[in-house]
Amino acid sequence: MPQLENEHLMHVNQIEPTSEYQKNHPSSPILKNFEEYKTLYNESIENPTEFYGRIARKELDWIKDFDVTKYPLTGFNTSWFLNGEINASYNCVDRHAFKNPDKPAIVYEADEPGEGRIVTYGELLAEVSQLAQVLTELGVKKGDTVAVYLPMIPEAIATILAIVRIGAVHSVVFAGFSSGSLRDRINDADSRVVITTDESKRGGKSIETKKIVDEALKECPNVRNVIVVKRTGNKSVPFIEGRDVWYHEELPKYKTYTPPVPVNSEDTLFLLYTSGSTGKPKGIQHTTAGYLLNALLTTKYTFDVNQQDVFFTAGDIGWITGHTYVVYGPLAVGATTVVFEGTPAYPNFSRYWEIVDKYKVTQFYVAPTALRLLKRAGDHFIEKYDLSSLRVLGSVGEPIAAEVWEWYYEKIGRGRCTIQDTYWQTENGSHLIAPLAGITPMKPGSASLPFFGINPAIVDPVSGQELKGNNVEGVLCIKASWPSMTRSIWKDYSRYLDTYFNPYPGYFFTGDGGARDSDGFYWVLGRVDDVVNVSGHRLSTAEIEAAILENPNVAENAVVGFADELTGQAVAAFVSLKRKDLSEDQISLAKKELTQTVRKEIGPFAAPKLVLIVDDLPKTRSGKIMRRILRKVLAHEEDQLGDISTLSNPEAVTQIISSVQATR
């Protein structure tokens, strides 16, 4: 049995969901007990066709029933619900609007407290229908890609759903990305239409969204039109006649209902770019029925969401969490989703709790980075809030440390709520490993047990063999396909196979280390590739290196992640400049410039926290930069560097150690 390196983590007692949870439940919990989860889980693994066939017919409305649930039956590269026809916007809007048009679909809380509005299912159907016709008029057809560069406003949700209503494909680009990143994503996806705002508002500041789009479009020759949502109304925002159209002027030209276009289950629903080990972002491709089904199921079962609930995912639609748990999951269930434009710190650190009380939020879902910030800000920002509407608290995107988990449980959940630490990725579409609310025992720091249909394997990274039984540690893989698994990387199927299936043949490789403890609970131990996680944002070190190289003064550079109390990981860049004779002042200017370069090339969230100018980077004799050494030095593990005498330049290590020590 392999040694558990992280054994200290795994001696954590299970916390049973409180009996109050069941007692105070406004309707009835989705599952009766843990035994029921186990029965359903076993069925989903042993007989996925029966399980998913039944549940897909029950939960989704089909235009045409599917003929085959899963094909081929074994192995990966599997398609689901073959020959079925469906429309995601129908499932997220029409079917709820028909029954209850006045029910709130979206609760919009603007950046400025007190501003915002409620959009009912009936109003959403009208807005989605009108925008769908605008898109059609602008020449967007089934299968075309539309780029979305929008902040967290109701129009963003309407846009996503209008695109899929006509069978087109959305490619949302996080509105914190720079013009260069936006340009690359527009061109890679071949988007012909872009939807954006004049400006956006965040944390009391205005952001020049449209100007960023205009800059990007200088090098996007195929973009025909830009639809602009008026967010601030600033008159100085550029408007290009003939290309740009106003959202508020176009929509009223069209009737408030247009039928959804039937698409095949396996037609692409959206692309979402994410970072991998190499510099070029990957367009993760999700298909319609499988993604939608798992978005709905995980919302319902992991978070115990029913139609009366108000679900607040404090994530951005620019990332997968926003796609699945702001838009598709809660709306497919028919609940109310909170769309929050601002930040947890504006105008003060009570903002989330104010929103929870104001709208009687029942489920709250956020990344640990925000929790760490709020914990540090002090409990006086929480104490005066009632928070009694909350039933379920979720965590996503990075490991949640035990002390943050406990703080969340006690201070926000007041010991009544359950905590769902959800492990998943852009590629998975929805939760892979997560406790079900009120059902699965919880362990602070563990994402606990797999969701229906997910069969995890801990694999030995050297032999590629699965490590059976409990108390094992290795890399985390999944054994068979599930409906919301990505089907390809856009226009790069061979990269898809190389990234996810070829590293460990027979398994989907997550890129994360993982362990199964003595109770069979799963622990996610962080990325084993060159991906860093800063404030829950997934960044590729290779992409940041490529951005830094854009600066003409740089000879070479290496980027690695290091632990940070607030952001989880932070970015460190070790840079050697072409000129070695710079003064102190020139060096500090060069560092500022390099940070600026990353902000400009990728976006402010990717900027390195630490830039170290060094003469040389440690390399093997074949010229490969030893990033492992840089990581060890940053982690204060200078004594664990191993044999460095085989490097081509061992003296570089000494300089790196002293320059890192000088920063402490």
> Binding residues for ligand PRX, per CB under 6 A?
274, 319-321, 396-399, 421-426, 447, 510-512, 524, 526-527, 533, 538
Nearer to ligand PRX, 184 or 421 (CB): 421
How near is the Cβ of 145 to ligand PRX at its closest, in Å? 20
Q: Assign 3-state DSSP to the chain and report helix, strand, coil percentages, each to 5.
A: 35, 25, 40
Nearer to ligand PRX, 265 or 426 (CB): 426
How near is the Cβ of 520 to ligand PRX at its closest, in Å? 17
Nearer to ligand PRX, 369 or 422 (CB): 422
125, 132 Cβ separation under 8 angstroms = no
Nearer to ligand PRX, 399 or 503 (CB): 399
Handedness of CA 529, 534, 540, 543 (dihedral sign): negative
- Smallest CA-to-CA distance from 165 within 194, 132, 211, 203 is with 132
Nearer to ligand PRX, 284 or 611 (CB): 284
Nearer to ligand PRX, 344 or 511 (CB): 511
Nearer to ligand PRX, 120 or 422 (CB): 422
- 């994360």: which residue's tokens? 512
Q: How far is CA 72 from the centre of its chain?
A: 29
Nearer to ligand PRX, 435 or 608 (CB): 435
Nearer to ligand PRX, 285 or 350 (CB): 285
98, 269 Cβ separation under 8 angstroms = no
What per-residue string of b and e applies to 557-577 under the rule 16 or more CB within 10 Å gives b? bbbbbbebeebbbbbbbbbbb
Name every residue whose Cβ is closer than 8 Å to that of residue 79 and which is 6 or more positions away in sequence: 70, 71, 265, 266, 287, 487
> Cα–Cα distance between 442 and 394 in angstroms, integer?
12
Handedness of CA 43, 45, 49, 55 (dihedral sign): positive
- Smallest CA-to-CA distance from 311 within 204, 201, 437 is with 437
How near is the Cβ of 535 to ligand PRX at its closest, in Å? 11
Nearer to ligand PRX, 123 or 421 (CB): 421
In terms of DSSP bridges, do strands 268-274 and 282-287 run parallel, antiparallel, or are they unpaired? antiparallel
Nearer to ligand PRX, 181 or 350 (CB): 181
Upper half-sphere CA count for residue 301 (Cβ side, 13 Å): 28
How near is the Cβ of 343 to ligand PRX at its closest, in Å? 18
Nearer to ligand PRX, 122 or 536 (CB): 536
How near is the Cβ of 56 to ligand PRX at its closest, in Å? 23
How near is the Cβ of 433 to ligand PRX at its closest, in Å? 8
How near is the Cβ of 604 to ligand PRX at its closest, in Å? 17
How near is the Cβ of 561 to ligand PRX at its closest, in Å? 11
How near is the Cβ of 326 to ligand PRX at its closest, in Å? 12
User: Which region, left, alpha or beta, applies to residue 545 given φ > 0 means left and ψ of -120 to 50 means alpha?
Assistant: alpha
> Cα–Cα distance between 135 and 148 in angstroms, integer?
13
CB neighbours of residue 539 within 10 Å = 24
How near is the Cβ of 449 to ligand PRX at its closest, in Å? 13
Report cis status (omega within 30 of 0) of the bond before 347: yes
One-letter amino acid of 81: F
Exposed/middle/buried for 466, CB within 10 Å: 0-12, 13-18, 19+?
middle
> Cα–Cα distance between 475 and 549 in angstroms, integer?
32
> Cα–Cα distance between 546 and 558 in angstroms, integer?
10
How near is the Cβ of 149 to ligand PRX at its closest, in Å? 18
How near is the Cβ of 427 to ligand PRX at its closest, in Å? 7
